[in-house]
């Protein structure tokens, strides 16, 4: 039995008594992200036409694309002859398939997750959503002009992790950029990320030179000792771009390497191997530097971008993500962050299990 068949088979409920449960489709990716619709006894048609119970503006979705039906304690997806297909766990539905709770249905560029929860679960979910919005409120707006253009993609997981990032001009010649990933999931990890981001945004580390990456990491390691913060630690990548000299000074702590894709297409891995922050007060941290030529691109990301189980049941490493960054084929008009999110999603059995946090900076 294939992995996909096993997943669908195991989704059959042991009994049909779900009277205390509430059923929803939640849009986790796409133009209508955050919208939710209740699943009742009436089929929910999904498509671009106004007659649909769930109308999407996604141009890659058909007029009547598919419908979701709940009956006898089972939820099914039925494709309505859509042009681009309906997908579960990366597999295209031929006609109809069972939709297990927690699995993601993908139609065009839109992803919808089926949630089956008690009222108490919904209250807890609301706390997670508020925490996610709190983190998002701290994220800087993309930069579309200037010597460094910055775009990003931030999609919290269904349980919200502790990802966060930031960038801002220190002065006319220096740009600071950083990304963190707090251990664990849930409100505690998210709020810990908020505390760290606020310290970095406000440069609230006394007597610390924020243009010295290693010095910043040492100070953060001391300030956020895991013994005083509920056992939470975090990984981090921190960089300082010197515009006039076109140099990037950086340091990392237990974090995946940043990728510097040069105009030639070659990809450099930027990492200083050190312990995650908060684990050991006396841990040493060093820094390194890299030259940055015109039209280079810097990729910062958390492990949720590459630590996925594929539709074939394999497990990715960071090198699999590097392969996607190195790809020369690009769709005209597609942002690099959108391309990478799309390519990872195409390969992932379930893209909602961890935060997807990606920042791409292009140096003019």
The reported pLDDT for the residue numbered 361 is: 98
Q: Lowest mean pLDDT of 7-16, 29-38, 154-163, 288-297, name the range.
A: 7-16
**In terms of pLDDT, which residue wins out, 341 or 239?**
239
The reported pLDDT for the residue numbered 353 is: 56
Q: Lowest mean pLDDT of 157-161, 212-216, 273-277, name the range.
A: 157-161
DSSP H/E element including 174: strand 174-182
Average pLDDT over residues 250-263: 96
Q: Lowest mean pLDDT of 152-166, 214-228, 236-250, 274-288, name the range.
A: 152-166
Centre a 10 Å sphere on the Cβ of residue 47 and count the other Cβ atoms it contains. 23
Q: At what angle do helices 336-347 and 318-326 cross, to 10 degrees?
A: 130
The reported pLDDT for the residue numbered 9 is: 36
Q: Is the pLDDT of residue 20 over 80?
A: no
Q: Is the pLDDT of residue 52 over 70?
A: yes
Q: Lowest mean pLDDT of 187-201, 204-218, 261-275, 327-341, name the range.
A: 327-341
Distance CA 150, CA 152 (A): 7
Q: Is 296 helix (H, G, I), strand (E, B) or coil?
A: strand
Q: Is the pLDDT of residue 167 over 90?
A: yes
Long-range contacts of 74-81 (CB under 8 A, 24+ apart): 74/12, 74/13, 74/98, 75/23, 75/39, 75/99, 75/101, 75/114, 75/116, 77/105, 78/43, 80/45, 80/47
Q: Is the pLDDT of residue 172 over 90?
A: yes
**In terms of pLDDT, which residue wins out, 173 or 28?**
173
Q: Is residue 149 a contact partner of residue 364, using CB atoms and an 8 Å limit?
A: yes
Q: Is the pLDDT of residue 125 over 80?
A: no
How large a percentage of the chain has pLDDT more than 70? 88
Q: Lowest mean pLDDT of 127-131, 273-277, 295-299, name the range.
A: 127-131
Average pLDDT over residues 51-78: 93
The reported pLDDT for the residue numbered 242 is: 98
Q: Is the pLDDT of residue 6 over 60?
A: no
Averaged pLDDT score across all residues of the chain? 86
The reported pLDDT for the residue numbered 127 is: 62
Q: Is residue 225 a contact partner of residue 281, using CB atoms and an 8 Å limit?
A: yes
Distance CA 262, CA 297 (A): 7
The reported pLDDT for the residue numbered 29 is: 82
The reported pLDDT for the residue numbered 254 is: 95
Distance CA 133, CA 79 (A): 33
- The most confident of the ranges 186-190, 228-232, 257-261, 281-285 is 257-261
- Residue 24 sits at φ, ψ, to 5 deg, of -140, 155
Q: Specify the pTM.
A: 0.67
The reported pLDDT for the residue numbered 137 is: 81
């Amino acid at each position: 039995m294939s992995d996909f068949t096993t997943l669908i088979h195991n989704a059959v409920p042991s009994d049909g008594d779900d009277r205390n449960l509430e059923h929803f489709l939640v849009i986790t990716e796409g133009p209508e992200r955050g919208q939710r619709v209740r699943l009742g006894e009436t089929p929910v048609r999904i498509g671009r036409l106004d007659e649909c119970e769930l109308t999407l503006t996604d141009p890659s979705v058909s007029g009547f694309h598919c419908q979701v039906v709940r009956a006898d304690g089972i939820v099914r997806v039925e494709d309505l002859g859509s042009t681009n297909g309906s997908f579960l766990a990366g597999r295209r539905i031929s006609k109809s398939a069972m939709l297990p709770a927690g699995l993601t249905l993908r139609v065009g560029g839109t992803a919808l997750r089926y949630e089956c929860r008690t009222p108490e679960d919904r209250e807890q979910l609301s706390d997670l959503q508020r925490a996610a919005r709190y983190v998002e409120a701290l994220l800087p707006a993309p930069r579309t002009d200037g010597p460094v253009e910055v775009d990003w993609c931030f999609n919290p997981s269904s349980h919200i992790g502790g990802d966060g990032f930031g960038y801002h001009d220190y002065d006319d010649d220096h740009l600071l950029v950083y990304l963190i990933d707090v251990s664990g999931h849930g409100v505690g990890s998210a709020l810990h990320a908020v505390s760290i981001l606020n310290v970095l945004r406000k440069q609230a580390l006394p007597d610390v030179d924020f243009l010295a990456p290693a010095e910043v990491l040492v100070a953060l390691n001391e300030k956020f000792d895991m013994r005083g913060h509920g056992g939470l630690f975090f990984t981090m990548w921190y960089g300082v771009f010197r515009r006039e000299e076109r140099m990037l000074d950086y340091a990392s702590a237990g974090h995946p390497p940043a990728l510097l894709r040069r105009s030639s297409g070659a990809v450099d891995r930027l990492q200083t191997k050190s312990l995650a922050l908060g684990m050991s007060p006396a841990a040493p941290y060093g820094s390194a530097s890299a030259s940055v030529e015109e039209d280079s691109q810097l990729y910062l990301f958390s492990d949720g971008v590459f630590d996925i189980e594929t539709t074939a049941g394999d497990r990715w490493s960071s090198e699999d993500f590097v392969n996607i960054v190195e790809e020369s084929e690009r769709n005209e008009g597609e942002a690099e962050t959108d391309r990478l999110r799309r390519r990872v999603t195409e390969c992932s059995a379930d893209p909602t299990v961890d935060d997807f946090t990606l920042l791409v900076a292009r140096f003019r």
